Amino acid sequence: MAKRTENERTPIQDRLYERALRVFAGGVSAGGRYNGSLKAPLYLREASGPWLESADGGRYLDFHNASGAAFFGFRHPRLQRAIERGVEDGFFINFETEHHVELAELLCSSIPCAEKVRLSNTGTEATLAAIRLARAFTGRDRILKFEGHFHGMHELIWYNHSRLGEKDPAGRTGEIAPVRDSAGMPGAFDELVVNVEFNDSGAFTAAVDRHGAELAAVIMEPVSFNCGCMPARKEFLDLVRRTCSERGIVLIFDEVLSGFRMSLGGAQQHYGVTPDLCTLAKALGGGFPISAVAGRSEIMDLLNPTGPVVMSGTYTGSLIPVLAAVECLKMMGEPGFYGAVGSQADLLYSGLSELFKRHSVPGHVRGLGARFGLFFGVEDPEADFRFRTIAASFDAQAHRRFTALALERGLYFLDTGYPMAPTHFGFTSAHTSGDLEMALDRLDGVFKALGGG
């Protein structure tokens, strides 16, 4: 019998997937865990630092990071001690503690817009609540969003993330027809969403001129990592901020992914543009389920029990995720933390850029802080990116081949199967320079194969 390579798929993985197909819808407990390159999820035995060990003994350096949640890698000793304390204290839920107060104090001292905070469990819950708050504060119903941006899996805003709509269907404005991102969404919700291109000042201004009196909020990813890495132009953010202030529209930054990636204050600190509300998750909990809405007191004070906007939940602010989030914020706030993140980013992104050039692979890397996208087929790194600009030239087949070839070499990149734009990848604080140099050495063979060498 031929000896298998280190990360070759074995009958162990296949048998687990066969069992899962009999009991899970689609064979997975969450749709996003299916890896298109494997045609199945990757089943893990354990994880430590930046390394994953599969159920059949394969070993992978991780560039998925639990969709960005595992900012400190896995089994971080300080996070482990924090949750052990929670277990010892009773791992209770649905009660408040001193740790909850400390977490809110840390957020208010770190996030520019955060005068008050309310906890939740997921990014979806946080954006849903932020939109509800904006509607209550303004007395208006419609929401303006940007094409390609993702704000959670709920009917209020799950539009035009993975599908292109018809641009300017009425021939009067730069608006894009809303396209639902899932079956089962009532058509009645379409009328509540105004959708325009990101970084398009003219389209944004025209949409606000047309709908401003009806708009409760503008919601946006200031850095759209859900499109790989599509940063806002600073002048565009300034325009949006100024316009929202003039029109009495609540500006919401969805920082579920961009939060804490490049600085403790997230994208709003990076750009120097402060929203009225923001949503946080992912890196906030370091791998534990917790999220938050933060913002101006006059808006946040509308929340119950003192205000009329209801936001609560049995599992909200469970002790163990709260303790983990406190420790995450303390680690991120330590001197040198973001300097190290920046150094690792420079090493990785410059190395990837060199591989694109060395092997004449069309495309480029774009990253900000600890997350990045590989834009196969998109050759102008200075382009003013918009979602349909990327979709027009993004090479999804090269992207899929890249993830498959990387897996063969012990590097874990998730193939989501979405054809429109790059997946966001990243590294953690546990990735060493040696890890990244080793990864670049292995990726040299990947890019050589992609370039036909």
User: Given pLDDT bands bounded at 50, 70 and 90, which one contains residue 3?
Assistant: very low
Q: Rounded to the nearest 5°, which phi and psi values hold at 356? A: -55, -45
Provide the pLDDT for residue 452: 83
Residues 327 and 344 in one domain: no
Residues 309 and 386 in one domain: no
CATH number for the domain harbouring residue 370: 3.90.1150.10
Mean pLDDT, to the nearest integer, of 40-48? Answer: 94
> Are the C-beta atoms of residues 128 and 152 closer than 8 Å to each other?
yes
Residues 108 and 47 in one domain: no
Instruction: Determine, yes or no, domain membership for 5.
Output: no
Give strand pairing partners of 218.
144, 251
Last residue of a domain, one of 298, 332, 366: 332
Last residue of a domain, one of 267, 301, 332: 332
**Inter-CA distances, 346 with 21, 357, 366, Å:** 42, 16, 11
pTM for the whole structure: 0.95
Residues 296 and 349 in one domain: no
CATH number for the domain harbouring residue 208: 3.40.640.10
Provide the pLDDT for residue 170: 59
Q: Rounded to the nearest 5°, which phi and psi values hold at 118? A: -135, 135
User: Given pLDDT bands bounded at 50, 70 and 90, which one contains residue 172?
Assistant: low
pLDDT per residue as tens digits for the range 102-111: 999 999 999 9
Alpha-helical runs (H) found in 362-427: 387-393, 396-408
List, as one string, the DSSP characters of 207-226: HHHHHGGGEEEEEE-SEEGG
Residues 208 and 316 in one domain: yes
Residues 33 and 93 in one domain: no
Tell me the residue ranges of DSSP E strands in 259-313. 277-280, 291-295
d(CA 139, CA 94): 31
d(CA 15, CA 39): 13
Residues 118 and 253 in one domain: yes
The amino acid at residue 165 is G
d(CA 76, CA 328): 10
Residues 107 and 37 in one domain: no
Instruction: Determine, yes or no, domain membership for 138.
Output: yes
Q: What DSSP state is assigned to residue 3?
A: P
Residues 250 and 373 in one domain: no
Two tokens at 272?
A: 């120097």
Residues 444 and 402 in one domain: yes
| Domains identified in the chain, total number | 2
Domain span holding position 359? 11-64+340-450
Last residue of a domain, one of 270, 303, 332: 332
